[in-house]
Amino acid sequence: MSQSTQFISLSGLSGVMAGIYALIGAAFANRILYPEIESISFVNEIPPQLLLIAVVVLLLSIGTAYIMTLQKAKKMGESVWNASSKRLLVNFLIPLATGGIFCLLLMSQQNYGLIAPVTLIFYGLACVNASKYTLRDVRYLGITEIILGLTAVQFMGYGLYFWALGFGICHIIYGTIMYFKYDRNSL
């Protein structure tokens, strides 16, 4: 695989799991933000529990993706850490880290309503950027995330729902498609 230009050991099931983690995290976040009401109100501050939920979802998603990708690569007789995976990681992390720093700056300026859309947009940009080095289908996930992020800006106050749709439902759909398209036959 080190001769290949694409890293193909990404696990579709890890996308499904990331989506499940995101939906569980969004449910917990919803209970923290809106404990007794059904209507959406603008958030004036971010409770520390939300940051904890976000970190837990992120760590579970990364950990699951790493373990499942490692298992898939081993079954395929491939190495996880090679030139292709390094290019993938670098090209994924540049927009993702930029978006993370931008979110921290938004928090410092108390622009909380933009955080959900910005995370979707920059994650989408990271997927599109990294798609050159993995399965082209990642590009479509990225474009979908960007569109959802831009739409979430138009519907301020519903960011948590767009976040759940983008990181939850879209990952479950994408992961399921990837599993049936690539993983099921190789495992």
Show the CA angle centred on residue 19, arms to residues 32 and 183, nearest 5°: 165
pLDDT value at position 38? 47
DSSP secondary structure, 51-90, as one string: HHHHHHHHHHHHHHHHHHHHHHHHHHT--SSSHHHHHHHH
Q: Which of 133, 129, 127 is nearest to 83 (CA)?
A: 133
User: What are the pLDDT digits (tens) for 45-93?
Assistant: 677 888 899 899 999 999 998 898 888 878 877 777 888 888 889 999 9
Q: Taking the mean position of all CA atoms in its chain, how far away is CA 178?
A: 15
Q: How big is the chain by its Cα radius of gyration, in Å? A: 17
* Run of H or E residues at 12: helix 12-33
Share of the chain above pLDDT 70, in %: 88
Extract the residue ranges of the chain whose pLDDT is less than 70: 1-9, 35-45, 185-187
pLDDT value at position 47? 73
pTM, to two decimals? 0.85
